[in-house]
A and B are shown apart, each in its own frame.
Chain A
Amino acid sequence: MSRLLQWLFGRLPIGWLQLTHSRTRFAAALAGVAFANVLVFVQLGIMNSMATATLKPYEFFQADIMISAADANSMTEGGNVARQWLFQALADPDVTGGTSLFVGNVSWARTTKTLSLTTYGIDPSLPAFLSPAMARKTGTLQLSNAGILDMFSRGLPREEAAAIRPQTPTSFEVSGTTLTLYDTFQGGGGFGGDGFMMVSDQTFFSLFPARSSAAPDHILLQIARGANPDVVAARLRELISDKTLRIRSYTQAAAEDLSYQQTKRPTGIIFGFGVIIGILVGLVIVYQVLSTDVADHLSEYATFKAMGYPQRFFLGIVFEEALILAILGFIPGFIVASGLLAGMKKVTNLPLAMTTDMAVMVFIGTLIACTISGAIATRRLAAADPADLF
């Protein structure tokens, strides 16, 4: 390592030699950087999983424009939309079709755990509004009180989910109605529920007798090929007289939902702060290590100054140390965080994973944070006065 660094720097790798001179302190410094990395990785992992979970239901449907109530910050929140606006939207020449989307929460009381299922009521005769994977599964929804279930629902054993087939359906009671599950689809637990369920709009009304077909949660629209969803949405905002409605492209609705989850909801804010705290912890740890190291070697630095070494030489040493700490601290941090995320995924069934993007981002962030810490620590170099050596 020493020879490699000497070849890289074109000088003795003093930073490396200084750091490794005290093995215990070096190990503690690396553990500190790794700890900060783990903090950031875990928080980012949770934030990423929040994004994945938030956007997941948008993948179930195919639409270009979504009309929602003013307070509908997400797909599962907010008031209803009058169905009459669907008919009015269909008057636009570029709108080729529309459907109502109903959203509710169904509890499946099981022996071990009650599953909270975010349930979507759709018109099964309009499979064009469903993703191809979902559309293939919705044939059974034509049946009365039928549903298809998210096979990744938290608390649902995989083997039990795999056993749910049209030939071997399973039933449970919801508010006095017997709901029969005929098939499964790939969803995944999120922060708002344990999983998803898809039913027909008629079944939805059985499950939620208070709901009316005249007041869906959202209206999904499809537009003509080549038409711009943003332009059509803007036109619909002019056309529809209820100016409180949120008429947005489907993509924009998903982006706004994600932004709302990450920046307005407490969970998103907490995880965001977690990332910042992780970065600050890393900065402080590396600064403490480097500034202590500079202070411990002031007389040596002063000697080098007396010998004629320029300021950039000393800066080079400090930055060399910062980069070594960043790189060598990142490796154990990455390994531990990968293990932690995998363990958390197993326990929570959240879509937690170490992604390449995340790893690259944290690695670059670590390099930057260590460099900043190094830059601050170099201020102490000014105290190395060669005249004090005599």
Chain B
Amino acid sequence: MSTENSANVSRRQFITGAATAVAGLTVAPGVFLLKPAAAASGADPATRWGLLIDTNKCADGCTACVRACHEENGVRSMGRPKTDAQWIRKVNLTERETGHQHSLPVMCQHCEDPPCVDVCPTKASFIRPDGVVLVNKHTCIGCRYCMMACPYKARSFIHEPLTDQKPHAPRGKGTVESCTLCVHRIDRGERTTACVEACNKDGHQAMVFGDLNDPESEIARRLREEGSTAIRADLRLNPAVRYQGI
């Protein structure tokens, strides 16, 4: 009888121990291994990086910014337009009343109150202290809720295995991505993005990158003096990408 009892106790202890071990092994990697990935970046909370796009200077048919961005970040077409990632795209507009036509680039608008960050269940979508909205590629589970929530259709889901990614732009199958405002350049101390650089190189000067919080910066000065509009301003998300001429 007593042997049976002790056997029962040890079996119970074994089950409890095994359950604890399994639970520990399941949860521990999530708690410890992923910590470094979430480490705070060196982003400066005093700055807010943004873009100003003058659509009057944006040439119809010119896609220099699109090509430069995708080259910089290793975004390649797989020949399947519906599932290919696009971090930036040229949108052609025709006013219904007047027939007036122009075009402009649209990318992640780096909202101050980003809906993608609100809905992300794992905090993989996040906004840096300097206003750059990013996806943590270590904690994105690929649920695509951020894509449902983004008013700008700015995000892409990686629909196939990728190779030869750029070290500064991590990308991987089953996760969501979008314009990073060339955050690798910002963190290197550079003060331009691939798209702006390409637009200037082609002589259009339609895009300006800079610190919205610095009253002396060109972008802040022009926004102050010339005015601008935001896409879907009605949503009051206060995007860091501003347009002139819409």
Q: Do A and B come from one complex?
A: no
Chain A residues at the B interface, C-beta cutoff of 8 Å: none
